[in-house]
Chains A and B, each alone.
Chain A
């Protein structure tokens, strides 16, 4: 009995860690690029977006996992899409109600979580084939991996663009008597593409992967 539970908990730990590094959705699986580029101008919106994705991932994985035996094969994708759309609507309503400033900054990128490839891929690859617990753990792992990635990218961009992280000033700006001249290009599309490209290159180098 202990052997089985030990094997199970290793499997759980593996699944959890996979989402963080080995199968990191942005850096390794190259999924969910659109929100990665769009909301990483500052850390606050990136973190909010990450939390929304975790919420939607977990809820949709739970529902899909519960439904997995009842799904008709040709209606599968439709069911996934419907589930994800519902939870994204709920998440959007919560954002509008409790953090309206963030809701405005994120704008149309919150409903774009519906077509975020990460969620559909995890529903297809994992939740529709596995039990409830593994699905939840997988969702949490992927979601946290995504959030951490977003925060790293947005940390770099916000630091270079304004000298602050999460709106807390870290580098003293020139106009306030310091030395740092903000690099405005980082908060524009240019900065987004180039930062992500360089980070991907760095990850490739670290893992010695040939593209």
Chain B
């Protein structure tokens, strides 16, 4: 019961309170690039969730089974990024073979995800926070993906309406998206202190 409590709190914390995009500045490049339409945004969000859950779990396992406490610890970053690149490759091959329609809808996003800072960032944060249990790592990774999806869908919804608004010419595109993201970050700050 206690474990369930910790997991639930951890999940809510990383989706809302410590949202990766608004508080930790991870995943900004795809956030700016793909948040134009809701269906694209949702697709990107789902792809990220899939990959980040897989990577978070794998890197936690490698960290705790092989790296921690041994002199190999210094190769942590190299190992993490290679695992992430490998995981993305695997996911791509798997999807292409077994779910071709899903693969088509993901399109170009899947290879782009390797350089998405959110994935490596989350794996490093899990290491930094000293998460000790595999279950907690899985839940946090999944939560991070859901948080990213939520953030990007909110932004897509807003941007679809912004297209019809009278934005000054020099602010169109990335600048107005960033300013909107700033206001969203301000709103999300209201959630701080929710979890004790």
Contacts and interface: CB of A to CB of B under 8 A. Distances in A.
A115 interface: yes
Main secondary structure of the interface of B (DSSP, over half): helix
Contacts of B75: 89
Interface stretch (B23-31, B37-45, B62-70, B141-149): B23-31
A202 B77 contact: no
Contact of B120 (A111, A188, A190): A111
For B26, B116, B183, B189, the residue with the greatest tally of chain A CB atoms inside 10 Å of its CB is B26
Nearest to A86: B78
Interface in B107-153: 114-117, 119-121, 124-125, 128
Interface string B172-185: 11111111011101
A185 B179 CA distance: 14
Please classify how large the interface on chain B is, using the bins under 10, 10 to 19, 20 to 34, 35 or more. Answer: 35 or more
Given A81-B81, A114-B120, A189-B23, A194 B29 contact: no
Contacts of A111: 77, 80, 120, 124
A190 B185 CA distance: 6
Nearest to A204: B170
Contacts of A134: none
Interface residues of A, number: 44
A93 B74 CA distance: 9
B22 A189 contact: yes
Contacts of B182: 189-194, 197
A108 B128 CA distance: 8
Interface string A192-211: 11101110111011000111
B81 A85 contact: yes
A197 B82 contact: no
Nearest to A210: B169
Nearest to B181: A193
A108 B179 contact: no
Contacts of B174: 30, 197, 200, 211
A141 B166 CA distance: 37
Contact of B25 (A34, A202, A209): A34
Interface of A: 30-31, 33-34, 37-38, 77-78, 81-82, 85-86, 88-89, 92-93, 107-108, 111-112, 114-117, 120, 185, 188-194, 196-198, 200-202, 204-205, 209-211
Interface of B: 22-29, 32, 74-78, 80-82, 85, 114-117, 119-121, 124-125, 128, 168-179, 181-183, 185-186, 189
